[in-house]
Each structure stands twice: as structure tokens, then as C-alpha cells.
Structure 1
Amino acid sequence: MAPVLPLALPLQPRIRLAQGLWLLSWLLALAGGLTVLCSGHLLVQLWRFRTFLAPSCPFTALPQVALAAGAVALATGLVGAGASRAGLDAAQYPPWRRVLGPLLVAATAGGGGLLALALALALALPGSLATGLEEGLGTAMAHYKDTEVPGYCHAKRLMDELQLRQHCCGRHGYKDWFGVQWVSSRYLDPNDRDVIDRIQSNVEGLYLIDGVPFSCCNPHSPRPCLQTRLSDPHAHPLFDPPQPNSNLWAQGCHGALLGHLQGLASTLGSLLAVTFLLQTVVLLGLRYLQTALEGLGGVIDGEGETQGYLFPGGLRDMLRTAWPQGVLGPAPEEAPPEEAPAKEDLPEA
């Protein structure tokens, strides 16, 4: 059987390979650790803004899978550093010789699969984040007034904190507050004619005004904040020209949160790509080093000719060797060669 992708590895190339693998393994451990930190930070941010994200949004799966993939990559880097260091020391290599093969299989199947899945999620899921924030912010704004309703009593405080900290107003702008009732009903006088007219003029029975909560005001504005009658250009005659929205946050909270979370996801995706590349190189190098040393019977400083390879034989050869073991059933019987007809003895002249 001819090995797959063989590579001749005499003594000096084996030493250089082990030394390079030791360095790359520590780089892999560093990349895995950074992936764990970045995915953990994104997970904390998603938990912090969970009120403004739809529960059905699948984006939360990205940091969870990336966290597991980073932890496996970190462990693979540490194992690779120890194995490559043992490949230079005849006293340390015998214990590694028995477990290095199973560790390579586990790291390739588990770590490689998790990293590939995390990379796929990093490419596919950011698009669902916009939809999840659209739905979540709409729900939070609709329950802004429900300060005494169980389950929504903190909606007002969380929405105010979001607008103050992220410097945003509404879902896409301050006018989004015009379409929801954000004033609690306990502050409305049921006998006031204006309140009655506003409620009766709305098909859903909501009290809608052209105003915004105080958290939409920009404290750095040089003039007092205008919160009410923002759609009436003649309501504030002292301001010339009338620009009632100039002291409000111009950006919507959807854009602010989307940019923040997608920036974290982009950084995480770059780390996952670097980690995947490093893990591939380290696992390939360890496989070549292992097979080269196995060809010498585990002798570290053997001077004999040896070669490393990925698999001991090609696919056809591996299938042939699997037949007698019953994996693919019995091998087909070959027809015996036809015997040539016997020549008749001719009488001698």
C-alpha cells in the first residue's frame, strides 16, 4: 500500500518540524484563549441586551459554539506543545506514543468540527440579528408604559438606560415614539377632554402624542430639550429656526445595537478563522511527526531513512483491507484463471 502524501523526514528535518510545531502550538493556544474571551464577551453582551432581542433569534448560538470551539483549540494547542516537545526528548516520548494517535483523532473530529460549525455560524447568523433586534425593540417600546404589569415592570428602566448609554432614540429614530403609547395610563386624567379625544381617535384605544421620553434628550445640547409637540413647527416660537429634533439623539437604537453586536461578531469570526488555520497546520504537523517516529520504532534520534504520511494507504487499499474484517462484507471471489488446453502429443516421425 502506498501511503497518502508521504514526506521524507530525516533527523534534522524532524527536529526542525518539532521545533516549529512547538511554536505553532503555543500560538494556537493563544488564539484559542482569545476566542474563548471574545465569545464570552459577546455572550455577556447578548445576555445584557436580551430584553431587546427576540427570544427566537438564533444568533445566540454563535458565541456558545465559538466558546466550545475555543476551549478545544486551547486544549489542542497545549497538547500539541507537549507532544512536539516530547518529540525532541527520548525520555518523554514513550508515554506520548500510546496516546498521541487517539488525541489526534479526537482533536480533528471534535475541534475541527466545532471550529467549522462556528465559522459557518459566524457567516450565516449576523443577518438574523437585524430581524431579532427589530422585533425585540418593538416589543420593549410597546411595554414601556407597563410599569405595573408583572413581567414588564422593568421595561421602562431598561429602555431608558439603553437610550442614555447607547446615545439612541426609538427603534430607527425619535419619530418611532409617536406610534406607541409610552405614557402610563395612571398619569392620564380620564376626565380630560384632550385625553378622551386622543384615545377615541385611535383605533386601538391608545394615547398617542408627538413626544418622546426624557432619555432621548442629548445632555450635551446647548439648549433645553424639547420633548413634546415635536411635529408642530409653531409650538416653540422662541427657537429660530424651529428644529425641535436637534437636541435629541439622532441615531436609532436598532442601528446602535446592530453595529455594536455585529462588530463583536466580526472580530470573533476573524479569530475563528485564524484559529482554524493554526489548528489545521498543527494537527497535520503532529501527524507527520508521529508517523515518522513510528517508522523508526519510536526512536527519537534514529538516523535511518523514514517518512511521514497522513494515511498508511490510499482509499482503494484501505477498502481492500477492510473487506476481510467484515466491514464491507466479504471480498468478491475472483474467478480462477482458465487453464490452457493440454497439447496433444504428436507421434514422432
Structure 2
Amino acid sequence: MAIMKVKFNLKKRVKLAQGLWLMNWFCVLAGIVLFAMGIFLKIELRKRSEVMDNAESHFVPNSLIIMGTLACMLNAFAGKICYDSLDPTKFAKWKPMLKPYLAICLIFNIFIFLIPVICLISRASLESTLSHGLKSGMRYYKDTDTPGRCFMKKTIDLLQIEFRCCGNNGFRDWFEIQWVSNRYLDFSSKEVKDRIKSNVDGKYLIDGVPFSCCNPSSPRPCIQMQVTNNTAHYSYEHQTEELNLWTRGCKEALLAYYTSMMSSMAAMVLLVWIMEICVMVGLRFLHTCLETLENPEDPECESEGWVLEKSLKETLKSFWEVFKSLGKVNKVENAGEGGDKDQAVTTVS
């Protein structure tokens, strides 16, 4: 028994073909949007690649670019089929291609559905990427004279200013690394010597942060040195001075930024996926209703269209039988090749 069987007359077939033609071109525009979103996300990730351990972070934008390109190509092709479907002579050349095309559309829709799923589950991977990248970037903050790292200070400072954040998880992360370059330290000073000697790794660690951690909304001049020393500053209590420095870590700020962006993109991709499913179902109806015309020479005659010719169970069973038959053919071919080899060996002997 056919699933979603519908009767069509000429008027309904014309409306279906025109509606599908229009929807296909909407999908082409949607494909351009997907492509543009992929490019935008790729640029945003590349802008901050220095503070990201981005081995896997470009999978989503690359997928959006590929799916956007394929959507434009497939829907432009489907638009042409729908345009020619009402002319029997023109439609005749497209008729053999419709079944393979619908199979390609099904595979395409499966892959396009996976993109929003990946967008929504990639938070953990993105968090790990940002955590390792920021930690590495902060270690190289002081290396302004080292080739390949000389712009890291500027990158980190701009990042902290733009996203109103400080450190990886918070401003205290700066207390655990040496972020002041040795060229700016007076090694004849007793204080500098004592600080270096007191550290196992021989690093100059201080309870201070870069200027970019300062909150401009603070009513007092920013205290960025001796942050935890209440006696070093007048009328100061570091545990209650919330406006002095940004309290949010840059990992949290960037994660919120990229998660929000990818959630919006996932919603857009889901909308495109729904449109593509509608187009695929509509094309299946158009294909079957034109194949079942009672009298192909009479355009006014009625026909029937459906999504599946048999029930879902029977359809899956038939697909399984086809799959098994393909496996048997491969086995027979391999056996045949083995027999030919044995025969050749016998002949040589």
C-alpha cells in the first residue's frame, strides 16, 4: 500500500510544479546564506586562531561551505526539472535522472541534518580548544621579541578589551605565569632577585595583571599591581572591589560568543533542512504523478502520486534485499576470479 497517495489533475500538477520551482529558488538563496555563514564563522575562528588550539574547530564552517555550495547546485538543477516538467518532450530527458537525483537528495538531507547536531554538541570540544589555546597564548604574552610570538601580547590585550574578560578562567591566572618580559626587569634589584629565587622554575611571578584587564567602569584608577595586597592601596579591599578588574575569564566569554553564534546557525540550518525535505517530498509527488498518467498524450487526464510505493516496512525490506544481492554478486565475482586463476595455473603446469 502506497504511503501518502494523492490524486492529481492537470491544475494540481501545474500548481505543484510552479510551487516546487519557486521553493527550489528559495533553497538556492538559503544555500548562499549557508555558504556566507560558513565563510563568516571561518573568518571569526581565524581571527582568534592564535589563542585557539584549533585542530578540529574548522569542521563546522567547512561543512557549512560545502553544504551551501551543494544546496545551490542541487536546487538549481531541481528548479530546471520542475520548469520542464509540464512539457512532455522536455521532461522526457529528465525522467531517467529523477530516481538517482532523489537518492542524492536523501543523502544530502541526512548530512545537512548532522550539521546543527554537531553545532549543538561541539561545546565541550570548543571549550577544550579555547582552554588550551588561551593557556598557551598567555605563556607567550611576554615574548614580544620572539619571531612568531611577537604579536601575542597585542592579540591577548585586544581580546581582553573587546570581550571584557581577563585571563583564562579569571584574573588570578596571570598570577601563575611570568607575563613581564626579562628585558624590562632590573636584575640588580633585591625585590626582583627575591621573587625569582622564591619560585622553583626561576620565574618572576607577581600578583598583577596586564592593563587590558582593567574595567573602565571602575570609579577609581585601575589597580593592576599588588592586586591582593590591601595595605598597598588606600581604602582598598580586593575581595569587594568587583569593578576594578574584569572578573570573567576569556574562555567563558569566547565560549558564550561562539556558542551563541553556532546556535543561531544551527537554527538556520534546521530551517533550510525543513525546506529541503519539503522540496524532496514535492519532487517525489511530481515524479510519481507524471509517471502514472492514465494517458500520457492527454494532459487533462488524472494521475496518482505518492511518497513511497509500498509501506515503510516493505520498502526497507526491498532495500535490504537489494543490498544482499549486491553482496552475493561481489562474492560470485571474487569466486570467478579465483577459478580463473586456478585454471591459469593448471594450464601453465
Q: 1:225 aligns with which of 203, 214, 222?
A: 222
The farther-off stretch of 162-171 and 7-16 is: 7-16
Partner residue of 2:276 out of 276, 279, 299: 279
More off after superposition, 153-162 vs 293-302: 293-302
Query: Aligned partners of 1:38, 1:175: CA distance in 2, in Å?
Result: 36
What SS class does the counterpart of residue 204 from structure 1 fall into? coil
Q: Which residue of 2 aligns with 1:34?
A: 33
Question: 224-233 or 7-16, which moves further after superposition?
Answer: 7-16
Residue in 2 aligned with 1:62?
60
1:298-337 matches, within 5 Å, as 299=296, 302-312=299-309, 314-315=314-315, 318=318
Note the C-alpha offset of 1:264.
1.0
- What's the Cα RMSD here? 2.9
Matched, 1:106 2:111: no
Q: In the alignment, which of 167, 172, 176 is matched to residue 175 of structure 1?
A: 172
Partner of 2:332: none
TM-score when normalising by structure 1? 0.82
Q: For structure 1, which segment, 177-186 or 241-250, has the greater mean C-alpha deviation from structure 2 after superposition?
A: 241-250
Amino acid at match of 2:95: R
Residue 232 of structure 2 aligns to a residue whose secondary structure is coil
The answer as to whether partners of 1:172 and 1:253 remain within 8 angstroms in 2 is yes
Shift of 1:72: 1.6
Tell me how far 1:287 sits from its aligned partner: 1.4
In 1, the alpha carbon distance for the partners of 2:305 and 2:46 equals 48
Structure 2 Cα separation of the partners of residues 256 and 30 of structure 1:
33
Deviation of 1:256 (Å): 1.3
Measure the CA separation in 2 of the matches of 1:156 and 1:306.
71
User: 1:167 Cα deviation (Å)?
Assistant: 1.8
Code of the residue aligned with 2:78 in structure 1: it is G
Distance across 2 between alignment mates of 1:327 and 1:175:
62
Indicate the larger mover: 72-81 or 193-202: 72-81
Structure 1, unaligned runs of 5 or more: 330-349
1:199 has 2:192 as partner: no
1:90-141 superposed Cα distances (whole Å, 9 cap, x missing partner): 56534433443433332322x2242033233123212211111111111111
Query: Percent of aligned positions with the same letter in both sequences?
Result: 34
1:1-349 map, 5 Å: 5-56=4-55, 58-90=56-88, 92-109=90-107, 111-237=108-234, 239=235, 246-296=243-293, 299=296, 302-312=299-309, 314-315=314-315, 318=318
In 2, the alpha carbon distance for the partners of 1:320 and 1:152 equals 57
Do the aligned partners of 2:141 and 2:153 also contact (CA within 8 Å) in 1?
yes
In 2, the alpha carbon distance for the partners of 1:34 and 1:23 equals 17
SS in 2 for 1:8: strand
Give the letter aligned to residue 193 of structure 2: I
After TM superposition, the structure 1 stretch with the greater mean CA deviation from structure 2, 14-23 or 97-106, is 97-106
Q: Give distance in 2, aligned partners of 1:278 and 1:300.
A: 33
Offset at residue 145 of structure 1 (A): 1.1
How far the C-alpha of 1:79 sits from its partner, in A, is: 2.7
Please, which moves more after superposition, 222-231 or 204-213? 222-231
Query: In structure 1, what residue type is equivalent to 2:61?
Result: P
| Alignment gaps of 5+ in structure 2 | 330-349
Secondary structure, aligned partner of 1:307: strand
Structure number having the greater helix percentage: 2
Classify the secondary structure of the residue corresponding to 1:181. coil
Q: Count the aligned residue pairs.
A: 324
3-state SS, counterpart of residue 296 of structure 1: coil
With 207-216 and 87-96 compared, the bigger mean Cα shift is at: 87-96
Deviates more, 1:247-256 or 1:271-280: 247-256
- Equivalent residues of 1:322, 1:328 under 8 A apart: no
The one-letter code matched in structure 2 to 1:106 is I
1 CA distance for matches of 2:297 and 2:28? 25
The CA deviation at 1:170 is: 1.2
Q: What's the offset of the Cα at 1:18?
A: 1.9
The answer as to whether partners of 2:142 and 2:178 remain within 8 angstroms in 1 is: yes
For 2:25 and 2:233, the matched residues in 1 are separated by: 65
